[in-house]
A and B are shown apart, each in its own frame.
Chain A
Amino acid sequence: MAAHGVTPAALRRPRRRPRTFPLFMIAPAMLLLALFIAYPIAESVHISLGSWDGIGSVAYRGLANYRRLAHDALVRQSVVTSLAFFLGTVVFTVTIGCLLANAISREVPGARIFKVVWFLPVIIPVSVAGIFWSNAFQPTTGVANSVLGSVGLGDGHAWLASSSTAPYATIFVAVWTQTGYAMLILLGAMDTISPEVHEAATLDGVGAAGRLFRITLPNILPMLGTITTLMSVFSFNAFGVIYAMTRGGPGNSTSILPVLVYKQSFLDQDYGYGSATAVVTTLIVGAIGILVLQVFRQRSLDAR
């Protein structure tokens, strides 16, 4: 019938609305991602391929900045410093965070108070924490040295003045600021483990350490992987703590890659070179993130 006007071919045409509607729905998100993530990243890569002093157009120089990077001893030193800082921070943050979460999860006396106290450093702005600890580490007048002095270990240690001790001091502060966060996330994961499992293990004579390694850790492995990845990213981007405490010194002994990028870009006005360093930093962080996730994914599979 002509009134219906529907041909058999038209009846066979696939319904397309379900495909266009999702596209329409994700378009705003894609637009925002493109604007605020993809475009800045692409622009950084673009700038890294040229010379730019912050204004006007980028003068294309090909891979010159990357060739310069490869021969720059300061960049190599910053990569090593960043890796050492990353290792120290992540290992201690996750380990201590895990132990603290376990203690609270096992409801040690005062667990609720400890949960708040141990989380407090997370809410302190990193610049404030950096300045506080920078003062605390000063010889004779600093709180840390006063405490050491009171127990007979001397109060004259110049922790931040030596390139052999300053990196440890900055790692300590980074761990101090991040451990509460790791603890809280891991505590959430531990709380999902059924108490009966622990009770049964206790009845079987398994001690606290045994329960931690044989029950708790295997059950929170995916979250452990997530928090380790997050801490890896945080530690690689720990510009605030370092800049507030040492500004990358003495010398360049605490100059992790973001500090170097800041100096190259904003102090030297060499945005092309700074962007090249930033791109390399991003690749390193990305590689480490993928590596950590892979390690934990494999462990999770093994645990099953």
Chain B
Amino acid sequence: MRITRTPRATRYTAVAGVLLAAAALLPACGTGPGASSGDGKSLRVQIPTGPMASAMQQVGKDFEKANPGTKVTFEGVDSNSSRGPNVALLSSTATPDIGYLQRSTGVWSALLKNHQLTQIDDVWTAAGLASKYSKSQTAYYTTDGHHYGVLYEELLIAPVYYNKAAFAKAGIPDPADHQIASVADFEAMVGRLKTAGYQGFGVGGSSPYDLGHTLDALLPTAVTPEQYAAMLTNFKPGSPTDVKYTDPGFVKVLQTIQDWQRKGIYQKGMLGMDTTQAQALFTSGKLAMLQGGNYSYADLKAAKPSFDMGWFLLPSLTPGRKTPFNAFNGDTLVIPAKAANPALAKKFLQFFMTDKYQVSVVAGGGSLPVFTSIRPSSLSNLGDLVQQQFELSQSVGLVNIWDSTVPSTLGQAFAVPVLQKLAAGKLSPQQAAQQFQTALESLQSGKVSGASD
């Protein structure tokens, strides 16, 4: 039977078609260029969840007091979201006025490439940031001569915390200058600790970053500074290809990580334990040493362990060289292009990026201030061990952390599963090195997206 379309049915179909088309267009409208349509008085600020969040409330109150009639609200974003899904929010018309991201992730490069970040050269000038940051930090936050974000804290990666009572029981003196002379010395320390009834070196092997931090800590001690600098940048298409991940220095790092698993240097079940579980094992007194960061000290103290803690850096893989600190310079506040109140957001950033809040909020939360003018000795609220780390970082030097500087297709997200397979004995160091080299070549060739600016 032939079905005849009536005028009414046609009308319904047409209406449904228009509705569908409108509905299909709506999401697209959400990603189009927006206008600052805010009231100029209410400010939404996105901040990472963590110890600094409560301190930021005070900054909000101070800002409201200094700018009568304004209202600041804070919105938390967790670590996982900030590394990826947050890009959708920050590029939408529902974006907060100030967004949080990690400069090292694809979120930054995607927003920048698509012109979704507000240029804030005026904030930099007003707050004098170029003269307050180190040269490398300023360079890292300068794109084509302009600035699109502010770095507000620095993290020190991979100091190893240790149980002083366990060291005393095993007859191991506190490491001089927080350094261990050699890998052999470190392995011997673990042997004595195990004899004394403790598990050795704790790493959250199943977490998405901790095993990568071991690589980060060892890598600058295994290659020359020039090679290390090349490794931080040679993923960009057209970069020189003379420094390879199959070179002996990188392979030596991989070999060491595998050896430590084979020799039982790590805690039992390291590959199935995340950072929180490893921390719990440490604070319970069963684990003698724990890889952490300046940011983990507050959590460790909050667990009220029954012993005093000390800290040191992992041994250098090149005899005679001291192990430098790894620094993460990625915690960034930006003003998304579609922010409702960009002018107020700029005012807030300028208000926040001062010595006062670097001390009371950043240092108060256990992180390190980023202004070179702030001396470690002037910080009474940093926590004793973190203050020592801050001081030592200024003498032994800082290098940018490798796995958070290169794109995730080569860095953290790629590296940790490879390191897990390496530690599990499923890959030889040479095979793992080849996988890193292949990932590098894919980025260099432009076949894989992810090579950030």
Contact = CB atoms under 8 A, between A and B. Distances in A.
Interface of A: 14, 16, 19-20, 23-24, 27, 30-31, 34-35, 39, 51, 53-56, 134-135, 137-141, 156, 158-163, 166, 246-252, 255, 263, 265-270, 272
B31 interface: yes
Given A134-B277, A250-B421, A23 B272 contact: no
B343 interface: no
A54 B9 contact: no
B87 interface: yes
A55 B421 CA distance: 33
A162 B271 contact: yes
Contacts of B139: none
Contacts, number: 155
Contact of B413 (A14, A39, A160, A268): A268
Interface string B264-306: 0000111111100100110010100000000000000000000
Contact of B19 (A31, A56, A160, A247): A31
Interface string B307-330: 000000000000000000000000
Contact of B85 (A56, A140, A158, A266): A266
B417 A252 contact: yes
Contacts of B408: 267-269
Contacts of A267: 83-84, 408, 413
A160 B268 CA distance: 11
B9 A19 contact: yes
A54 to B, nearest CB: 4
B449 A53 contact: yes
Contacts of A266: 83-85
Interface stretch (B34-42, B46-54, B107-115, B213-221): B107-115
A268 B450 contact: yes
Given A158-B271, A246-B206, A34 B20 contact: yes
30 contacts: A19-B9, A20-B9, A20-B12, A31-B23, A34-B23, A51-B449, A53-B87, A53-B110, A53-B449, A54-B88, A55-B116, A134-B277, A138-B269, A140-B286, A156-B268, A160-B273, A161-B269, A161-B272, A163-B421, A250-B272, A250-B420, A250-B423, A251-B426, A267-B84, A267-B413, A268-B409, A268-B450, A269-B87, A269-B450, A270-B409
Contact of B12 (A27, A54, A246, A268): A27
B424 interface: yes
Interface SS majority for chain A:
loop
B208 A269 contact: no
B140 to A, nearest CB: 19
Nearest to A135: B277
B369 interface: no
A146 to B, nearest CB: 14
Contacts of A249: 205-206, 271, 416-417, 420
B448 interface: yes
A158 B272 contact: yes
A248 B274 CA distance: 12
A234 B309 CA distance: 46
A61 to B, nearest CB: 10
B263 interface: no
Contact of B272 (A24, A138, A268, A270): A138
A67 to B, nearest CB: 11
A233 to B, nearest CB: 24
B413 A55 contact: no
A160 B271 contact: yes
